[in-house]
């Protein structure tokens, strides 16, 4: 990546450009300036929209073999620059390097699956002669790109969540203007350099950091046919109301729960839950926030879990063995501190934890919490987890469901009837057996119900959402 003098230009319709609004990207761990880049103003956004509309028809005409080659090229190039990407991502986000590397792996896979799915757009071939009205007629359904897509991605997976908008857009044949988080635009701009090397017509992809006001045009401008947003519930649902005639997909957050039933393998569950609770300081949409453990194994689980929590290594995200580092900024760390204090004052007991230091918040385990506490009912987006016992499986499901959110849930059990109950009754977009709610592979349908989202990502599903059907009725 071109970080000469640490100035990184933004990507406007095939060109790298600077603007009048500089944007400093700060390393959350040591507060140094990682690089300087730019915010796009309305005029750059307007240029990007115009360029996107100008190439829309050309993009639609691109044969499948070209789309495939372009997406595979991008995947291969990220692979070749794996170290640069993971390092950049670590610096801009403060994400420990081992997690940063895993995110790069996922982006490689995301583009690869997009390549494969770009040759497998949905298509239907229907008999229509179910009544005499359809005599000797049949139907073909092709799916056409909906048009210009607006993508908005958050800081917590700076590259892969942007990729989950860019890759399906290319695969679907839709131009896209992506607004990365202003805190973490660098890895996505590095991706833009690869995109610029491909045969994609300039204008198909723009990566433009923007302030919120400018960015709001992505929501309201009728030239966008679709808005794909990943971020907070409050912002997301407001966008849906303002989006006019466009399609909207919202990938929001939650306060995911886990059930550890009596037949669970406790050793496995402890390790997986610790990862799900504290990886990247819990700044993950499907972070495990609420653990419900069967009373017969509660003490055992609790003891091991606290022990493991206390062993987590905190420090510089650049170190290979760092488990937890600073949060994205001090405001967020303070917010977490306040919520934990509220819980403590309300009667919660701290099984593990410590005190905030600047933007670092230590991994924290609470028990004796109740649902009115913010640490339970809201999305904490921090390294805090609650640990509570349950008696009956029904009760555990009720605990999991007692929230306005519904993204994913984990259930550790070896009982077939409990698995069935979990699948039938847990109100989330995903139920993960013998693993944590944080589980996601990039081709699976992923998304929330209730307040946690609207629509699904995962390549096939995201591509499908960027297409609209047209039926041809013909004689046969």
Cβ atoms of 200 and 170 closer than 8 Å: yes
Identify residues 263-302 at the interface with a copy of itself (CB under 8 A): none
Active site annotation includes 251: yes
* Stretch near a copy of itself under the rule CB under 8 A, chosen from 1-9, 167-175, 242-250, 338-346: 242-250
Contact residue for a copy of itself among 13, 97, 113, 291 (CB under 8 A): 113
- Over the window 50 to 69, marking each residue x when it contacts a copy of itself by CB under 8 A and - when it does not, the resulting string is -------------xxx--x-
Regarding 444 and contact with a copy of itself (CB under 8 A), the answer is yes
The catalytic position among 174, 273, 285, 376 is 285
Cβ distance to a copy of itself smaller for residue 58 or 423 = 423
From the CB of 56, what's the least distance to a copy of itself, in Å?
Answer: 12
* Stretch near a copy of itself under the rule CB under 8 A, chosen from 106-114, 279-287, 288-296, 310-318: 106-114
The Cα–Cα gap between 450 and 457 comes to 16
Q: What angle do CA 27, 284, 280 make, to 5 degrees?
A: 45
Find, among 404, 123, 104, the residue nearest to 256 by Cα. 404
First-residue to last-residue Cα distance in the chain: 55
Which stretch of DSSP H or E encloses residue 2? Answer: none
Active site annotation includes 285: yes
Regarding 435 and contact with a copy of itself (CB under 8 A), the answer is yes
Regarding 222 and contact with a copy of itself (CB under 8 A), the answer is no
> What is the DSSP secondary-structure string of 308-363?
HHHHPPBS-TTSTT--B---S-HHHHHHHHHHHHHHHHTT-EEEE----BTTB---
Q: How many residues comprise the chain?
A: 476
Q: Residue 257 has which token pair?
A: 């729960």
User: Which residue reads 């008696």 in tokens?
Assistant: 391
The Cα–Cα gap between 84 and 80 comes to 9
Identify residues 6-45 at the interface with a copy of itself (CB under 8 A): none
Cβ neighbour number for residue 143 with a 10 Å cutoff: 18
Cβ neighbour number for residue 390 with a 10 Å cutoff: 20
Cβ atoms of 86 and 97 closer than 8 Å: yes
The partner residues of 474 in beta bridges, in order of sequence, read 138
Cβ distance to a copy of itself smaller for residue 138 or 211 = 138
Cβ distance to a copy of itself smaller for residue 121 or 290 = 121
Regarding 223 and contact with a copy of itself (CB under 8 A), the answer is no
Identify residues 138-157 at the interface with a copy of itself (CB under 8 A): 139-142
- Could you give the count of Cα atoms lying within 13 Å of 425 in the half-sphere of its Cβ? 17
Find, among 69, 15, 64, 20, the residue nearest to 42 by Cα. 20
Cβ distance to a copy of itself smaller for residue 136 or 212 = 136
Cβ distance to a copy of itself smaller for residue 264 or 312 = 264
* Stretch near a copy of itself under the rule CB under 8 A, chosen from 124-132, 190-198, 211-219, 395-403: 124-132
Cβ distance to a copy of itself smaller for residue 21 or 79 = 79
Cβ distance to a copy of itself smaller for residue 14 or 253 = 253
Contact residue for a copy of itself among 30, 124, 299, 395 (CB under 8 A): 124
Q: What angle do CA 388, 393, 396 make, to 5 degrees?
A: 35
* Stretch near a copy of itself under the rule CB under 8 A, chosen from 5-13, 161-169, 204-212, 417-425: 417-425
The catalytic position among 44, 117, 251, 457 is 251
From the CB of 258, what's the least distance to a copy of itself, in Å?
Answer: 13
Regarding 316 and contact with a copy of itself (CB under 8 A), the answer is no
Contact residue for a copy of itself among 2, 31, 33, 126 (CB under 8 A): 126
The catalytic residues are: 251, 285
């Amino acid at each position: 990546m071109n970080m000469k003098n640490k100035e990184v230009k933004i990507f406007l319709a095939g060109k790298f450009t600077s603007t009048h609004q500089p944007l400093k990207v700060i390393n959350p761990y040591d507060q140094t300036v990682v690089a300087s880049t730019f915010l796009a103003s309305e005029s750059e956004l307007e240029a990007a929209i115009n360029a996107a509309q100008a190439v829309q028809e050309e993009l639609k005409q691109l044969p499948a073999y070209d789309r495939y080659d372009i997406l595979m090229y991008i995947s291969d190039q990220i692979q070749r620059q794996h170290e640069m990407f993971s390092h950049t991502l670590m610096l801009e986000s403060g994400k420990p390097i081992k997690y940063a590397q895993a995110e790069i792996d996922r982006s490689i896979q995301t583009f690869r699956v997009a390549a494969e799915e770009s040759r497998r757009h949905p298509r239907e071939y229907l008999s229509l002669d179910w009544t005499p009205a359809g005599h000797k007629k049949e139907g073909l359904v092709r799916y056409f790109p909906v048009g210009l897509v607006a993508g908005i991605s958050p800081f917590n997976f700076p590259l892969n969540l942007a990729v989950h908008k860019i890759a399906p857009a290319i695969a679907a044949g839709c131009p896209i203007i992506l607004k990365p988080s202003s805190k973490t635009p660098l890895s996505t701009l590095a991706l833009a350099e690869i995109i610029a090397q491909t045969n994609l017509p300039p204008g198909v992809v723009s990566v433009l950091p923007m302030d919120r006001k400018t960015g709001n045009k992505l929501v309201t401008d009728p030239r966008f046919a679709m808005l794909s947003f990943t971020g907070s519930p409050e912002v997301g649902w407001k966008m849906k109301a303002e989006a006019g005639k466009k399609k909207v997909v919202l990938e929001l957050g939650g306060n995911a729960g886990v059930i550890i039933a009596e037949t669970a393998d406790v050793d496995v569950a402890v390790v997986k839950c610790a990862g799900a609770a504290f990886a990247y300081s819990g700044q993950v949409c499907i972070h495990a926030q609420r653990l419900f453990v069967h009373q017969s194994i509660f003490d055992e689980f609790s003891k091991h879990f606290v022990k493991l929590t206390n062993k987590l290594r905190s420090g510089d995200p650049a170190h290979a063995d760092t488990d937890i580092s600073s949060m994205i900024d001090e405001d967020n760390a303070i917010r977490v501190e306040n919520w934990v204090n509220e819980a403590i004052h309300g009667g919660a007991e701290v099984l593990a934890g410590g005190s905030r230091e600047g933007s670092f918040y230590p991994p924290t385990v609470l028990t004796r919490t109740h649902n009115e506490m913010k640490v339970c009912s809201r999305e904490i987006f921090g390294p805090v987890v609650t640990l509570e016992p349950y008696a009956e499986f029904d009760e555990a499901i009720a605990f999991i469901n007692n929230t306005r959110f519904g993204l994913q849930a984990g259930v550790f059990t070896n009982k077939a009837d409990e698995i069935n109950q979990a699948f039938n009754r847990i109100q989330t977009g995903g139920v993960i057996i013998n693993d944590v709610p944080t589980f996601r592979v990039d081709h699976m349908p992923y998304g929330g119900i209730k307040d946690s989202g609207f629509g699904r990502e995962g390549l096939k599903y995201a591509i499908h959402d960027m297409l609209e059907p047209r039926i041809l009725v013909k004689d046969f």
